Amino acid sequence: MSVASRPTAGAAYELAPYKSLDNGALQARIAAVRASLGSRLLILGHHYQQDEVIAMSDLRGDSYQLSKMAAESGDCRAIAFCGVHFMAETADILANQPARLEARDGRRVTVVLPDMAAGCSMADMAAIDQVEGAWEELGEVIDTADVTPVTYINSAASLKAFCGRHGGIVCTSSNARAVLRWSFERTSRVLFFPDQHLGRNTAKAMGIPLEQMPVWDPHHDTLGGNTPEALKASKVLLWRGHCSVHQMFTPGHVDLFRAKVPGIKILVHPECPMEVVDKADVQGSTGKIIREVEAAPPGAKWAIGTELHLVNRLKHEHPEQEIHFLSPVVCMCATMYRIDLAHLCWSLENLAAGTPVNIIRVDDETARWSLVALERMLAVK
Ligand code: SF4
């Protein structure tokens, strides 16, 4: 069956006809592209992705894990990243770094994001011009040579490049503490963006008092809403950004489950607000959340505070445990959810036809400096 026709020779297939196909037809066509491209194609499925898409993915993981695994594949020539925009950028940077390009005689890996509208609200909360403006303004009050900029991997490539250029570094939710330690060996202050919660939760666990963690509000006219004294007394300057999914969990949700389910353990992601993390039994990255559940005995009871699709999948894969979603309201990554089978099929058939759509290509200069910041992170033990 062919619903997608080409209006002119060499033009890409249109998306609209794919939307009228049912899941069975889309799955069959995706499977056909996978069979024809073989190991030259990798479909990456982020843990927060919907089940139908995960079922069609070659690799499942968090954003950094997926990019790294794809970059290390010798055969891969095309990546369809079923995640959000910054993840596809990271995949492009790692898969097309100079050493890997050389090993492939200069041939690039094509990275596509099946739906360009799959962005990240957190990454969007720190625009590069805002960060550069803040850095300049900060320089009027404190010595920025004594500040390490640290960006969470959930950020645009331009911010990673900013960190690379300014002696800074990238962190993930699993190595944030080690990265902060690395930073404090070099400078007495850190500017942490875009997620204030990961920054605050990590620094607090290291014993840094809240008074030394002022928040920089990029929408405030002067000094991010701080006094010069507060900035001079700071250890960690937190960017006012957050994940709209993890921000939804509240301490009240924790209290509710503790009252309702005796013996329940609360397991949350460090992108949750401090008041939630403080009340939890365990906090950790997506990988840690999965490992905790996998290691728990039958009958273990959990209320998990992270993205809904991941919690539902854990529930399904571990029927021997009692797993609850921590919030009574739906907290899912709506932008990642935009990537459905229709978009995936459309982007794959265009890839196979040699008319790739939605290519994510980080410019060379940005990629070079981003890689510097990413490699610093890799060197942190
Ligand atoms: S879950 Fe939050 S941080 Fe992750 S992609 Fe979605 S909005 Fe961004």
Q: Is the CB of 339 under 6 A from ligand 1?
A: no
**Per-residue pLDDT tens over the stretch 57-74:** 999 999 888 988 888 888
3 state SS for the chain: CCCCCCCCCCCCCCCHHHHHCCHHHHHHHHHHHHHHHHHHEEEEEECCCCHHHHHCCCEEECHHHHHHHHHHCCCCCEEEEECCHHHHHHHHHHHCCHHHHHHCCCCCCEEECCCCCCCCHHHHCCCHHHHHHHHHHHCCCCCHHHEEEEEECCCCHHHHHHHHHCCCEEECCCCHHHHHHHHHHHCCEEEEECCHHHHHHHHHHCCCCHHHCCEECCCCCCHHHCCHHHHHCCCEEEECCCCCCHHHCCHHHHHHHHHHCCCCEEEECCCCCHHHHHHCCEECCHHHHHHHHHHCCCCCEEEEECCHHHHHHHHHHCCCCEEEECCCCCCCCCCHHHCCHHHHHHHHHHHHCCCCCCECCCCHHHHHHHHHHHHHHHHCC
CATH 3.90.550 fits 122-243, yes or no: no
Q: What is the mean pLDDT of residues 98-110?
A: 94
Question: What atom of ligand 1 comes closest to residue 154's alpha carbon?
Answer: 3
Question: What atom of ligand 1 comes closest to residue 243's alpha carbon?
Answer: 2
Averaged pLDDT score across all residues of the chain: 95
Categorize the per-residue pLDDT at 3 as very low, low, confident or very high, splitting at 50, 70 and 90: low
Find the distance separating the first CA and the last CA of the chain, reported in whole Å. 53
Q: What spacing in Å lies between the alpha carbon of 123 and ligand 1's midpoint?
A: 8
Q: Which of 154, 155, 247 to mutate to test the pocket of ligand 1 (most atoms within 8 A of CB)?
A: 154
Q: What spacing in Å lies between the alpha carbon of 336 and ligand 1's midpoint?
A: 8
Architecture of the domain spanning 246-325: 3-Layer(aba) Sandwich (3.40)
Q: Is the CB of 208 under 6 A from ligand 1?
A: no
Q: What is the mean pLDDT of residues 312-322?
A: 98
Cα–Cα distance, 188 to 240 (Å, whole number): 21
Q: Is the CB of 243 under 6 A from ligand 1?
A: yes
Categorize the per-residue pLDDT at 333 as very low, low, confident or very high, splitting at 50, 70 and 90: very high
Q: What spacing in Å lies between the alpha carbon of 122 and ligand 1's midpoint?
A: 6
Q: Is 80 exceeded by the pLDDT of residue 90?
A: yes
Question: What atom of ligand 1 comes closest to residue 271's alpha carbon?
Answer: 3
pTM over 0.75: yes
Question: Where exactly does CATH 3.40.50.10800 map onto the chain?
Answer: 16-119+337-363, 246-325
Q: Is the CB of 174 under 6 A from ligand 1?
A: no
**Per-residue pLDDT tens over the stretch 203-256:** 999 999 999 999 999 999 999 999 999 999 999 999 999 999 999 999 999 999
Q: Is 60 exceeded by the pLDDT of residue 7?
A: no
Q: What spacing in Å lies between the alpha carbon of 271 and ligand 1's midpoint?
A: 9
Q: What spacing in Å lies between the alpha carbon of 196 and ligand 1's midpoint?
A: 14
Q: Which of 244, 272, 308, 330 to mutate to test the pocket of ligand 1 (most atoms within 8 A of CB)?
A: 244
- Give the largest CA-CA distance in the chain: 69
Q: Is 80 exceeded by the pLDDT of residue 114?
A: yes
Question: What atom of ligand 1 comes closest to residue 121's alpha carbon?
Answer: 7
Q: What is the mean pLDDT of residues 102-120?
A: 96
Q: Is the CB of 84 under 6 A from ligand 1?
A: yes
Q: Is the CB of 48 under 6 A from ligand 1?
A: yes
Q: What spacing in Å lies between the alpha carbon of 232 and ligand 1's midpoint?
A: 32
Categorize the per-residue pLDDT at 1 as very low, low, confident or very high, splitting at 50, 70 and 90: very low
Residue minimizing CA distance to atom 1 of ligand 1: 333
Q: Which of 248, 330, 336 to mutate to test the pocket of ligand 1 (most atoms within 8 A of CB)?
A: 336
Any idea which fold 16-119+337-363 has?
Answer: Rossmann fold (3.40.50)
Q: Is the CB of 125 under 6 A from ligand 1?
A: no
Q: Is the CB of 336 under 6 A from ligand 1?
A: yes
